[in-house]
Amino acid sequence: MTAAPAQGRAPKLPPAYRLVPRDEVESTNIEAKRLAAEGAEDGTLVWARRQTAGYGRQGRGWDSAEGNLFLSLIARPDCTLAEAAQLSFIAALALGDAVGSVAPPMIEVTYKWPNDVLFNGRKGAGILLESKGDAAGAVDWLVVGIGANVTSFPTQARYPATSLHFEGCPTSLTSVDLLEAFGRHFLSWINRWLDDGFEPVRRTWLNHAHGLEEEIEVRLPSESLTGRFQDLDPGGALLLQLPDGRQRSIAAGEVYFPAGG
Ligand code: BTN
C-alpha cells in the first residue's frame, strides 16, 4: 500500500508499477536515479506534486509548480543503451494517448523530435532519459522523466509552451488523472515495442510528427543545419534533407521551426 501525498487522491496504477509518491522532491529524476542505483526494480515510478530543482535536457531548469505532472519511471529493458533510447518515443506516444483519453478532442497532440509532446502546436510536455549501462553497452537502468503541463506553463520558454487547462480542458482534470492514463498507455506501448520492435512506434510517431516534410532548423553542439524533415530512420534518428540534396542522419539535436510554431 502506498501513501498518498498530503493532498488529493492517490493515483491508481496497474500492478506492473511500484509507485513512490512524494509531496516534494528536488527532482523525480534524481530520486529515481538514486533508487535505481540501490537496485529498485523495473516499473518503479517516482511521482511528486512539486519539484524544487526539476531539470530538463541540456541541464536547463524545468518549471515545477504544483498542479503539473512530474514523474520518473525506472525501466530495465534487456537491450542496449542505443535501443533503449527509443523509450523516449514510447513515453511520448503514451503521454499523447493519455491526453487523448482524458482530455476533450479540442487538444491536438503532435510530437516534436526527439522527445517533446505538443498540445495544439505548443510544448505541453518534455521527456528526459537518463541511463546507466554496463561495459558491453547493455542497459543497467534507465530513468524516463516526464514533465507535463496540466495547470500552468512557463511564459519565458525557448519554445512556446502551453498547458492542458490553458488549451481549454476542464479544470477538474488533474495531474493524477493524467498519471493514471499515462501508466496504462505506457504499459501497452512498451509491450508492443517488446513484441514487435520499434517500427510500430516509429510509424505512429511519424503520423503525428510536427513539421514532417517541412523546413526545419536543427541545432547541434557545433553547428546549425537547415533542411527538410524527411523521415525517422529505423532507430529513431532524424533524417534531414540538406539544400544540396544530401541526406544527414541526426541522432541528437534541438529542432526549431523557422515558420514559427
Ligand atoms: C525537456 O523537455 O527538457 C525535458 C523535461 C523533463 C522534465 C521532467 S519533470 C520530471 C522529471 N524530473 C526532472 O527533474 N526532470 C524530469
Q: How many CB atoms lie within 10 A of CB 57?
A: 16
Q: At what angle do helices 175-196 and 199-207 cross, to 10 degrees?
A: 130
54 CA → ligand 1 middle, Å = 6
Same domain? For 61 and 168 the reply is yes
State the average pLDDT over residues 237-251: 96
Domain count, the chain: 2
Same domain? For 93 and 222 the reply is no
Atom number in ligand 1 closest to CA 62: 7
Residues with CB under 6 A from ligand 1: 27-29, 51, 54-57, 60, 62, 70-72, 116, 126-128, 145-147
Alpha helices, DSSP H only, in 59-196? 81-84, 87-102, 175-196
Task: Give the Å distances, CA to CA, from 23 to 8, 49, 174, 195, 217.
Answer: 11, 5, 15, 36, 39
Residue 225: give its domain's CATH number. Answer: 2.30.30.100
Q: Residue 55 pLDDT > 90, yes or no?
A: yes
245 CA → ligand 1 middle, Å = 36
C-alpha cell of residue 161: 509552451
What's the mean pLDDT when you consider all of the chain?
A: 95
Q: Which domain holds residue 228?
A: 215-256
What's this model's pTM, rounded to 2 decimal places? 0.95
> Tens digit of pLDDT for each residue in 180-214?
999 999 999 999 999 999 999 999 999 999 999 99
The residue nearest atom 11 of ligand 1, judged by CA position, is 145
7 domain residue, yes or no: no
Same domain? For 108 and 35 the reply is yes
| DSSP symbols for 106-124 | T--EEEETTTEEEETTEEE
